[in-house]
Amino acid sequence: MKKICFLSLLLAMPVLSFAQFNAANKNAVKTHVGLRAGVGISTYNLDEPRALVTPVVGLAFDYKIASIPLYFDSGVYYMDLGTKFKDFKHPYHMVSIQYPNGRPEDKITHTLHNHSLMIPVGLSYHLYLTNNMVLQPFSGIYLSYGITNEKIDVGLREGVGMSFGKFYTNIGINLGLIKQTGKVEVDYNYEIAVEKCLQSSAFLSIGYNF
């Protein structure tokens, strides 16, 4: 008898889960608008790249586009899509037989800023774990405009979010597809040019949906 009850419970669990999901889906909000703030890291595919830590702030928007909880995602964000990298601190660096390309100790870390506005465009699927806890994997592209280098970038954007009622958090990555350029002024007479490099970044943010 106990085995029959146990098997019945196991068989009933998927039905109950589907019923709970269906009820939550019927009550799914048609659209969300929210504020986002967090931290990100950005880097370029240079020889000796270092991660640039940057704040991430923005306004997010989504809209349900199907009978299932599939949403169109967009918004506008600020992020510094620059990088840090190691290079020589002076163009006349010391060269020797042992170090024909210069001594490693003559290199310092430079910072290349690229303050940017980003507009992501993609899709997210809202998986209702409970009525108030929703897992939200998302995928799409982004368009960014570099205020600093006056360049446009287009890239891929992937990640996953989670909402707890009106509170939200997410983590994801951006992979640029257009090569970027920039310059770092070391001193009055010396600049380091950064040319034809792809940008990549990651972000972690929290937010509130109205």
Q: What are phi and psi of 120, to 5 degrees?
A: -80, 150
Task: From residue 64, give the alpha-carbon distance in Å to each of 147, 190, 202, 207.
Answer: 32, 53, 26, 19
Q: What is the pLDDT of residues 85-112, one digit of tens each?
A: 877 565 554 444 444 455 556 677 888 9
Residue count (the chain): 210
Q: CA 4 to CA 183: how far, in whole Å?
A: 73
Could you list the pLDDT tens digit for every one of the 210 residues in the chain? 444 333 433 443 443 344 444 545 556 789 999 999 999 999 999 877 889 999 999 999 999 999 999 999 999 999 999 999 877 565 554 444 444 455 556 677 888 999 999 999 999 999 999 989 999 999 999 999 999 999 999 999 999 999 999 999 999 999 999 999 888 776 656 677 788 899 999 999 999 999
Q: What is the pLDDT of residues 26-40, one digit of tens each?
A: 567 899 999 999 999
Which structure tokens are listed for 196? Answer: 């034809």
pLDDT for 91 equals 54
pLDDT for 71 equals 97
pTM: 0.79
The HSE-up count of residue 82 (CA atoms within 13 Å, CB side) is: 20
pLDDT for 193 equals 77
